[in-house]
Structure 1
């Protein structure tokens, strides 16, 4: 059977599962902790104005206590998968340059499927909430979402010959993620209300099963794998080889190119730290008073937030005709900073919806920076590059989730919007780094010359 090189269906199904799992799990944790903390039934009003905001009422204190416990439990889940997640991600993606791109996609899909089945069983049987950590460990040991997306980005870059095409194709991935996230965000509240957690997780498992079948039987691998390659190498040796490839990636390039690569990585990771670290706080912030949103309103908010994927793609598509990459990144950082500052003072439903407007270009920097990084590195090192990116995203992502959840839990009682205000301040760091790149390093012609020269030296060696 002839296979195809069309990875977008796999991205679509994986995005559906991931974007639906996140709000389901956050709200499942919140509801379970609410029931275990108090003798009151969980507040699930269709009219959000009925949520308790009177500080003298015992329910108000319970809300604050549940907020803290849910935040700390999310922190424990994130930390549990840190070490195995970054090791497995690094090994799988760095080896994909020689052993093919499908390996990381298949293994991470198996892990996601096993994790969703476990969540389905846990919610059906009403097992202790602490067993939720097992789902994080399953994903970590098999390759988490960073592994899957890193493999997808490398898969796309393998097929792109023109540099502008790389930027557009990478932006298309983010567009798919955004559209799917919007649909699932809009419907997540209805999933919980109409189907409950168990059947919602079951639907996720079905989608992941279809995704795995597509990758294994229908997707062509862009990297030809030699049958003589040794597949029995131990994980420790694989990790050493992967680390050596990453080391050589930085060692074999010239000084200016290395400086540019490090600056781009620093800019991307610091921006990633703020954006993805603060993202789960939005749901907790919306569940808390004075907003007190229910599942449906949270779905609406997630849907509006996901529009930024679409507008970011349109922004990249339009701006790429008249602006350099660095200026596109700067626009995204600047508007996101304004959105964070406004979110910290949002106290009504209308204002919280309007806060989404400054976030319209939030994902432009991530797409463009990935493209800029892929342009700095030779084509034979794309897998190693995205292994480094996924490694850093996994490590920084866990640290970010942990840090922001911890900060929110200790500041929610006196200023629930402090986390967003802090995020606005932290976004100055990637902004300053980008200014350094704009002033000193990023020159299209010079960069192309450096890559060509570096590639020729590698061929000679």
Structure 2
């Protein structure tokens, strides 16, 4: 998601430069340029969203039975091919319509949703203790956040020094190294029995088995477990919706009056927001030793609310930078909620669980960007900070759900007991 944010930020900066040089000669207004660019980006996002959701459901959930490496290798292969095509596109100055074909083709390999879903399931398999799971999932989010922010900050220097074609060649090379490492060096966490590897399965049975992972997760679960999974998924979706939607508007808000930031300040602001990944990880690391997961989520949501309320009324550069201070822990709920959902399910259901999470992330991000960008365009004339206040207000929904969970006393001990009961029932059936 942060990679997409850096892409939107770079395009907005290009529109600003383009607008300042051509507005007098051509008559194109800043709002018209933003409108067309936003529409183009939205169409690109939607082009790749639907196929990547379907592929993520299949590959990540199928990893519970046939190994995790497919959900890591295939998205890397798709990214490698896509970057190679984009390099050729830049070198030969081909039509913009090819962008849609490249994005659609890359999404058929699963895109980032499949890769992250498989990575989180892989990490969950390696955790022997429940506390390890929260911290290690937070480490993955930390690495993803820092590297995405670094990529957004350095991409301009790469493009200026190498040009677009060679920048995509470098990206393709990095993806190739990733593919080589996953294929030949990374050991899979799911052991596929030898007889299962060589067993002949009909095409119909193979397809049924491939698509049944997520369905069986909900069908075979007890009522309490199924309800808890749905409630946690909805909580995750609502907070992710507000987080992505609110944070995606920072660049537009900073470029507009009265802040009128230039490229240098935009870069500093992006770096400050990226550093929140590090502070959120440190918060999870320390809080996990003394607080339950649900309390850590509470702290993170209140941190986000404080930052958004401050941003809504920030009219000076100093205040806009200072709004990052109350937001220092706003990323904590995302990995912690992932960990909470992972603790509800069995080891053999981790892939199906993270497939659901990955699909929700893609779907929620696409809807959130569309809703909040449209809302900002409609309210920017009379109150630019309205979208930030709305984003903070929507946090009442996940907070209310978490309060309900606390009132019903579904804490970590109850999650562990649900898994223990299912494991015991499975062992008794097998014996």
TM-score (structure 1 length as normaliser): 0.84
Quick one: distance in 1 between partners of 2:256 and 2:168?
Answer: 25
Helix, strand or coil for the counterpart of 1:149?
helix
Q: Deviations over 1:127-176 (max 9, x none)?
A: 33343323321232111111101100000111111000111111111121
Shift of 1:31: 3.3
Is the 1:115–1:136 Cα contact (8 Å) retained in structure 2? Answer: yes
Which structure 1 segments of 5+ residues have no match?
Answer: 1-17, 44-56
Helix, strand or coil for the counterpart of 2:190?
coil
Report the equivalent of 2:39: 72
Give the direction of change, closer, same or farther, for the CA distance of 1:160–1:341 in structure 2 (3 Å limit): same
Is the 2:12–2:251 Cα contact (8 Å) retained in structure 1? Answer: no
The total of aligned residue pairs comes to 426
Which structure 2 segments of 5+ residues have no match?
Answer: none
Q: Deviations over 1:320-341 (max 9, x none)?
A: 1211110000000111012122
Shift of 1:456: 2.3
1:110-121 superposed matches below 5 A: 110-121=77-88
Report the equivalent of 2:405: 437
Give the direction of change, closer, same or farther, for the CA distance of 1:118–1:24 in structure 2 (3 Å limit): farther
Report the equivalent of 2:125: 158
Report the equivalent of 1:408: 376
Helix, strand or coil for the counterpart of 2:176?
helix
Is the 1:67–1:288 Cα contact (8 Å) retained in structure 2? Answer: no
Q: Deviations over 1:297-329 (max 9, x none)?
A: 332222111111111111011111211110000
Helix, strand or coil for the counterpart of 2:314?
coil
Give the direction of change, closer, same or farther, for the CA distance of 1:296–1:118 in structure 2 (3 Å limit): farther
Q: Deviations over 1:351-386 (max 9, x none)?
A: 222222222112110111111111111111111111
Q: Which of 279, 283, 307 pairs up with 1:311?
A: 279
Pair 1:224-2:191 in alignment? yes
Quick one: distance in 2 between partners of 1:319 and 1:203?
Answer: 39
Helix, strand or coil for the counterpart of 2:189?
coil
Quick one: distance in 2 between partners of 1:171 and 1:443?
Answer: 20
Q: CA RMSD in A?
A: 2.8
Give the direction of change, closer, same or farther, for the CA distance of 1:232–1:303 in structure 2 (3 Å limit): farther
Quick one: distance in 2 between partners of 1:80 and 1:333?
Answer: 31
Quick one: distance in 2 between partners of 1:347 and 1:419?
Answer: 15
Is the 1:166–1:371 Cα contact (8 Å) retained in structure 2? Answer: yes
Q: Which of 328, 335, 340 pairs up with 1:360?
A: 328
Is the 1:78–1:402 Cα contact (8 Å) retained in structure 2? Answer: no
Of the structure 1 ranges 411-420 and 328-337, higher mean CA displacement relative to structure 2 is found in 411-420
Report the equivalent of 2:6: 23
Of the structure 1 ranges 350-359 and 152-161, higher mean CA displacement relative to structure 2 is found in 350-359
Q: Which of 295, 305, 324 pairs up with 1:337?
A: 305
TM-score (structure 2 length as normaliser): 0.89
Report the equivalent of 1:10: none
Helix, strand or coil for the counterpart of 1:361?
coil
